[in-house]
Amino acid sequence: MKEVLDDVERWRGQGKRVALARVVSVEGSGPRLPGAAMAVNEDGDVAGSVSGGCVEGAVLTEALGVLVRGEPKLLTYGIADEDASEVGLTCGGIISVFVEPLDW
């Protein structure tokens, strides 16, 4: 989380809306541990990582949707998912990522 705080503060200081995505669970092998964070601003700028690149694009898209809707969303990615090849999660595990708009 500390890796994204400077960017979040700068974006918020510029009046931009920000969503925060955090890994909340990993089953089996996963690219990042729980607590890994990625911040996305309304312009699509990204700070941090929830997967080392595997699902970043999909999480970015979902985070922008969370900013539009204003409601959090729990995402799950795994090799058995129909979207697995699309998002590139090939580590064999399952990760859950919670995405929420920041309102502080």
Task: Give the pLDDT confidence of 38-92 residue by residue, as tens digits.
Answer: 999 999 999 999 987 779 999 999 999 999 999 999 999 986 555 545 555 556 7
Please count the structural domains in the chain: 1
Closest CA to 31 of 46, 47, 48, 53: 53
pTM of the full structure: 0.86
How far is the C-alpha of 80 from the C-alpha of 97, rounded, in Å?
16
* Burial bucket for residue 88 (CB in 10 Å: 0-12, 13-18, 19+): middle
Look up the domain containing 82 and give its range: 2-101
Q: For residue 101, is pLDDT > 90?
A: yes
Q: Please name the amino acid found at residue 89.
A: L
Closest CA to 32 of 54, 61, 47, 5: 54
